[in-house]
Amino acid sequence: MIREQSNGKATASGFLWLLAQGATGRVVNFGSQLILAKLLLPEAFGEIGVALAVANLVSVAVVFGIDDILLQRLAKMKYWFAPSFWSSAAFGLIGAIIIVASAPWLTAAYSQNNLSGLLTILAVTLVLNSLSVVPTVRLRADFRFRFLAVYASLEIIAIHTLTIILAANNFGAYSFVAPLPLAAIVKLVVYWTKIPSRVIGNYRKRQIAYILYSGSQALGTKLVNQAINQGDYIILGLLASSSEVGMYFFAFRLASQPIRMLAGNLTSALLPSLARLGSNPTHQGATAFKASRMLLYICTPFCLMQAAMAEPLLHLLFGTRWEGSIILVQILSVGLIGDAISWVTSALLISKREFRRDFLFALTLAPFFFGFAYVGAYYGSSVGLSIGVSVFFTCVKPLASWIVFRKFVSLKEFLRGYALPVIISLTAVGSPLMALEICIPKEATVVRTLTIMIVSPICYLILMRISARKTLQDITNIFPKGARLFAKIL
């Protein structure tokens, strides 16, 4: 019991630190994207969108499931450093070679002259990042989330500052990638100084064989998931202009920030704790479902508020320059809500060492994603693609999550945990939005934006207090006393 409580506190503390880092990253990302949208044309966003999609798809070879394997070897992790490091480095190099070799063909296929140069820089970054995989996992396993959060915040500030400086000096799409190798070198040096471990040592061939076998299953899952994450850019790039891809890239980066910040950080903090609960599968599954429910209650209002504020905020900042992205942000912000719960289900399967099952789930979902995405992009360009992607995340992802959680919760409890945050979020965001449509002209963008930002969260907390008090208490327990006091007053 004491150990479980300790794990719970460490997870909550880790989530809080990573959430703070995520909030910093969100602010920096948002501010940087707004500045870059002023400095760069949509074509530059389209070029970097395709380049990152290709590089990210290949980059999953860097870890080859090594991070997940190491987390399962907590007690004997030091004996796995050497084989893990050299495996990671080797596959990082292979991934870089694949990217560079495919660059000329991709440049011709997408008719983008800058694509080859962008991919070459990303390939170098890939090799450098592969050398930081082992120390990153060690820091996570030791629950050193404070250090990870602070470093990541400083890193993202530095990268975006350099990106803006380069964009202001007419580097175009290269502004996005030029700072990345430098950041990877600094991270490599800093992370290795934080762990007292040797990587050059003896290791057994069967360790490499185990990494290849278990990692191949985890890698399969990562490849499929990365194909889903990047497939929309790749499909749209083949069917539409760079400007259209740029609009979608800009919109998706804005729309996905709440999910990526909250779900990604919670999963990073939760996975080591779930791994430690492996001896108690029932408690392990119940903990994962509780985390996914909390995540939905946190993410849903953010996503809907973002959709409501997209039109007045983008008009206020850019006038009509990025008007084509408004409808895309609105559709994607609503559709990506369904993606929140799937992050935790994947973490649960990994913590249970069910790599093969996780891979089969991802493999089953992939045809649905590409089917919806291709049909949408073919018939409706970026708007159709946004609708297809949203349908996938709204309908298909929750069904897959239920299949994982059905051993631990009833269907009624699962549906309630999925539907209730959506209902109260729609009420909290929709009510002031309807009032604004009746009383405030659309030209009053500042008033409309501030009203949604202030009124909707208060309404949401009141509704949670009425209909989901236990979950509200669970959420506020991981936040500082001020947030808990505010929730108690409501």
- Angle, in degrees to the nearest 10, between helices 205-239 and 355-391: 10
Could you tell me the two tokens for 196? 């007292």
Q: Taking 70 as the threshold, does the pLDDT of residue 96 lie above it?
A: yes
Structure confidence at residue 490 (pLDDT): 43
> What is residue 47's DSSP assignment?
H
List of residues 6+ apart from 291 with CB closer than 8 A = 266, 270, 344
The SS3 assignment for 114 reads coil
Q: What are phi and psi of 406, to 5 degrees?
A: -65, -20
Q: What is the pLDDT of residues 113-133, one digit of tens each?
A: 888 899 999 999 999 988 888
pLDDT over 70, % of the chain:
78
Model-level pTM?
0.71
Alpha-carbon separation of residue 257 from 22, 162, 174, 437 (angstroms)? 9, 21, 23, 26
- Give dist(CA 297, CA 8) in Å, integer: 19
Q: Taking 60 as the threshold, does the pLDDT of residue 381 lie above it?
A: yes
Mean confidence (pLDDT) of the chain? 79
Task: Tell me the pLDDT band of 483, cut-offs 50, 70 and 90.
Answer: very low
Contacts 24+ apart (CB under 8 A), 11-16: 11/269, 11/270, 11/272, 11/273, 12/269, 12/477, 12/478, 13/143, 13/145, 13/146, 14/143, 14/145, 14/268, 14/269, 15/145, 15/265, 15/266, 15/269, 15/270, 15/478, 16/478, 16/479
Alpha-carbon separation of residue 223 from 58, 211, 215 (angstroms)? 8, 16, 12
Q: Are 386 and 335 in contact (CB under 8 A)?
A: yes
Q: What is the pLDDT of residues 197-255, one digit of tens each?
A: 555 556 666 666 766 666 666 667 777 877 888 888 889 988 888 888 888 988 888 88
Structure confidence at residue 217 (pLDDT): 61
The SS3 assignment for 443 reads coil
